[in-house]
Amino acid sequence: MSRYTVFGNPIAQSKSPLIHHMFAQQAGLEITYERTLATEQDFISSLSTFFVDADAQGCNVTSPFKEQVARWVNELSAGAKIAGAVNTVIKKEDGTFLGDTTDGKGLVQDLLRLNVQIKGARILLLGAGGAARGVLQSILALEPKLLMVANRTQAKAKQLALLLPQDNFVGIDLNQLNEVQQPFDLIINSTSASLSGELPSIPDSVISSGACIYDMSYADKPTVFLQHAQKLGVLNTFDGLGMLVGQAAESFYLWTGYRPDVLPVIQKLRSTL
C-alpha cells in the first residue's frame, strides 16, 4: 500500500490526510496518509527515515520546512526553482527525489473554477513572502495585463519582480498604491494578516465593486479582508480553501497520475469548518 505523509510544525491541524483519503476513494486506490511533526533539527533525518520504507511514494511539506526540503531533493521543478521552496516530494523510479511546488497551480485552478478572469486582467498581489513567490509563475503563465506585487518593503517586492522579468510584472511599496489611478480586476492577499485578524493596509480606492477579492487564508467565516471588501460592495469574495484542496489535488496527480474532482472535497471541508 502506497504511503504518504505531510511534514510540518505545527501539523496537528492539517487537513491533508482527510483530503488525500477522499482523493484516493475517488481514484479507487488504497493509501495511507499521515501527519509527521518535526523540528528544524530533526526534519531531514525524519524525511530520510520516512523514505527508507519502500511503500513511501511521496510527501507534502508545509511550514517551516519548504525551503529546507528544496535543498534536500535531487532535482527541482522549474516552478520550485523560482519559488525557492518545495511543498511536494515525488520519489522517482530510479530512487531519486523530485521537489515541486503545487501552490500556484492550486491557486489558478481555484480561480478558474470560480470563473475569475486572469488573462488580460489587472492583478494586485499583496505580500512578497513565500506564499507570493510560490504562485508567481502560474499567474503570469495565464497572461494578465498587469501583475503588481505590493509589499511593506519595496525592495522585497522588486526582488520578486526580478525573478521573472517582464513588462507586465512590477513590484512596489504598499504606500505607492495611493498613486494607482485605476482599480484592479483581481486582488489576492498572500499575507498572513488575516490569520491574526488584521486588515491589509491598502487604500479602498484600488478596490472596485466589480473586482474579485481572494484571500489565501480561510476560516469558518469570511476573513477580515473579505468582510471589508464586502462592506465596499464587492460581490465576488473568496477564501483560500479551494486553493488548499487544489494544491493537494495537484500533488495527488503528480504521485498517482489521477486528477481528482476537487468540488466534493471543498464542500466536505467547508461543512467541517
Q: Is 152 annotated as a binding residue?
A: yes
Whole-angstrom distance, CA of residue 55 vs CA of residue 249: 20
Which of 177, 178, 238, 233 lies closest to 208 in space, CA to CA? Answer: 233
Q: Is 92 a catalytic residue?
A: no
Residue 16 labelled as part of a binding site: yes
Lookup: cell for 216: 489565501
Q: What H or E segment, with its residue span, contains residue 2?
A: strand 2-8
Annotated binding residue 8: no
Residue 15 annotated as binding? yes
Residue 92 assigned to a binding site? no
Q: Which three cell numbers stand for residue 32?
A: 495511507
Residue 95, marked binder: no
* Residue of 79, 113, 144 lying closest to 249 (CA atoms): 113
Confirm whether residue 247 is marked as ligand binding: yes
Question: Is 62 labelled a binding residue?
Answer: yes
Find the largest Cα–Cα distance for the chain: 58
Report the C-alpha gap between 258 and 239 in whole angstroms. 26
Residue 133 counted as an annotated binding residue: no
Q: Is residue 128 part of an annotated ligand binding site?
A: yes
Measured over the CA atoms of residue 199, residue 205, residue 206 and residue 207, the dihedral's sign is: positive
106 labeled binding residue: no
Task: Confirm or deny that 242 is annotated as ligand binding.
Answer: no
- Which residues of 85-206 form beta strands (DSSP E)? 88-91, 97-100, 122-126, 146-151, 169-173, 184-189
Residue 129 known to bind ligand: yes
Quote the CA–CA distance of 237 and 217 in Å, as a whole number. 12
**Are 16 and 60 a contacting pair, CB within 8 Å?**
yes
β-strand pairing of 146-151 with 97-100:
unpaired
CB 185 within 8 A of CB 122: yes
Task: Please tell me whether 87 is known to bind a ligand.
Answer: yes
Q: Which of 66, 81, 91, 231 is catalytic?
A: 66
Instruction: Map grid coordinates 503563465 to a residue.
Output: 141
Q: Which residues are annotated as a binding site for NADP(+)?
A: 127-131, 151-156, 216, 240
Catalytic residues: 66
Q: Which residues are annotated as a binding site?
A: 14-16, 62, 87, 103, 127-131, 151-156, 216, 218, 240, 247
Q: Which residues are annotated as a binding site for shikimate?
A: 14-16, 62, 87, 103, 218, 247
